[in-house]
């Protein structure tokens, strides 16, 4: 029995085709396994045809902003991807570094250009209280209504591993998290979503969030 799914949702499952983009990040398999476990059609691919036929696109990520963008530019057909996401409004989810690269600039080990799909930049978490590496479970504070968080009123613990965070216009910030100071933990701009935490490592909360995204 699939978690959170009702019997009449089989049609939705069968009509959903998820494309996970792979530029060499370390958590692609975990994201794939979660989506497969939930019963959705999913493949890992950077092929243009797969991006075009997908109903939903996910960009996972671990590591540093600049290194990620270098690999993304080399391995992912960004013109075709932007056409599907920006022009055709295909639902897109960035995870961890996959969320960070959505903005214009990153300042991890220098200055680097991001995708620029959202305004803003990425810099080091400001905290005088805790280690700069934010690792482990933490709560999110939902700031605005979003389909990502439907049904998660009683489950808002997610798993984080990062030391840099997105700074963007509050218009696009849909949750924040406290770690010494508050930082942006998820974003949404139209059909573009991003989460700083790892839903694939966040047990029931992560399963529900991914299911919500794939229900769009």
Active site residues: 96, 198, 200
Residues 5, 8, 12, 13, CA torsion sign:
positive
Q: What ranges do the domains of the chain cover?
A: 7-214
Categorize the per-residue pLDDT at 127 as very low, low, confident or very high, splitting at 50, 70 and 90.
confident
Name the pTM for this structure: 0.94
Topology adopted by domain 7-214: Rossmann fold (3.40.50)
Question: What is the structure's pLDDT at 25?
Answer: 78
Question: What is the structure's pLDDT at 129?
Answer: 85
Residues 129-187 have pLDDT tens digits of 888 899 999 999 999 999 999 999 878 899 999 999 999 999 999 999 999 999 999 99
Q: Are 127 and 111 in contact (CB under 8 A)?
A: no
Categorize the per-residue pLDDT at 3 as very low, low, confident or very high, splitting at 50, 70 and 90.
low
Residues 108, 206, 46, 79, CA torsion sign:
negative
Residues 57-73 have pLDDT tens digits of 999 988 899 999 999 99
């Amino acid at each position: 029995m699939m978690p959170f799914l009702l019997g009449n949702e089989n049609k939705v499952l069968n009509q959903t085709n998820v494309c996970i983009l792979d530029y060499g990040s370390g958590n692609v398999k975990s994201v794939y396994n979660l989506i497969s476990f939930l019963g959705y059609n999913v493949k890992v691919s950077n092929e243009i045809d797969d991006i075009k036929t997908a109903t939903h696109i996910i960009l996972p990520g671990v590591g540093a902003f600049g290194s990620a963008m270098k690999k993304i530019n080399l391995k992912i057909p960004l013109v075709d991807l932007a056409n599907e996401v920006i022009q055709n409004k295909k639902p897109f989810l960035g995870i961890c570094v996959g969320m960070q690269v959505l903005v214009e600039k990153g300042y991890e080990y220098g200055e680097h250009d991001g995708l620029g799909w959202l305004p803003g930049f990425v810099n080091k978490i400001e905290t005088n209280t805790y280690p700069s590496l934010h690792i482990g479970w933490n709560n999110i504070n939902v700031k605005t209504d979003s389909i990502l968080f439907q049904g998660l009123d009683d489950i808002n613990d997610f798993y984080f591993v990062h030391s840099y965070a997105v700074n963007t216009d509050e218009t696009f910030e849909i949750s924040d998290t406290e770690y010494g100071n508050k930082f942006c933990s998820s974003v949404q701009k139209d059909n573009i979503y991003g989460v700083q935490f790892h839903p694939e490592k966040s047990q029931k909360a992560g399963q529900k969030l991914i299911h919500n995204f794939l229900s769009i």
